[in-house]
Amino acid sequence: MHVNKQPVISDEALKTCYLFASLSPTQLLQIRRGMQQVELAEGAFLFEHGQRAERFYVLVEGHIKLFRLSQEGVEKVIEIIRPGESFAEAIMFMSAQIYPVTAQAVTHSQLWSFENKAFMSLLQDSFDTCRRVMCDMSMRLRLWLNEIDNLTLQNATYRLINYLLYQMPDSAKTGCGQVNFQIPKHVIASRLSIKPETLSRILQQLVKDQLITVEGRVIHIHDVDKLRIYGQS
């Protein structure tokens, strides 16, 4: 792991993260004082389950998986972090300041790292800032609850199709498109709470039904609307 303790990042870039979107230049300067830029090689660990949590992160490049190990040593992927997404920020509001999961780079990754205490100090100094951040975090919590519903109430085909559609850019939500599996399929399967062989079987069925074409790690979607309807049937 390589850490740069004095990264040069513009205010505009920082404000792409929802946590900093409404901060003033003075507040952003306060956040920068403890900011670091982190580079992780593929397979490197950022933090481990049970480790004291003193920082939160924004992923700039690559993919990070958050996972837990069962008592039998089986890995369960809780989330796959994509560029532009933040993670571990909610821990600063918990009584137990430890990471509840392990974070590992699936591919070579670059992150911004921030001090929990600096951000908490900022929130304590400004009620308006605290209220705006809490509002944004509650919206993200609602998205997580929807995700829990998808994982517990929907079948494996729906979950995989929903994942494929989620990976597509907003500009390609209709017509045809493609998804590039930049992370191993067994990691995706764990994230969707299905077995790798089940994932492969569903992909084969979607190919048979002429909804997609698979070329290595690239999934070509022939018709986004038809695929969406198929997943809901």
Long-range contacts of 76-80 (CB under 8 A, 24+ apart): 76/190, 77/187, 77/190, 77/191, 78/191, 79/191, 80/106, 80/183, 80/187, 80/188, 80/191
**Per-residue pLDDT tens over the stretch 149-182:** 666 657 889 889 888 888 876 655 667 888 888 8
Tell me the HSE value of 102 on the side-chain side, using a 13 A CA sphere. Answer: 15
**Per-residue pLDDT tens over the stretch 23-63:** 889 999 988 888 999 999 999 999 999 999 999 999 999 99
If residue 78 lies in a helix (H) or strand (E), which one and from where to where?
A: strand 75-81
| DSSP helix/strand/coil, 66 | strand
**CB-based burial of residue 208 (10 Å sphere; 0-12 exposed, 13-18 middle, 19+ buried)?**
exposed
Give the chain's domains with CATH numbers. 2-153 (2.60.120.10), 156-232 (1.10.10.10)
pTM for this predicted structure: 0.76
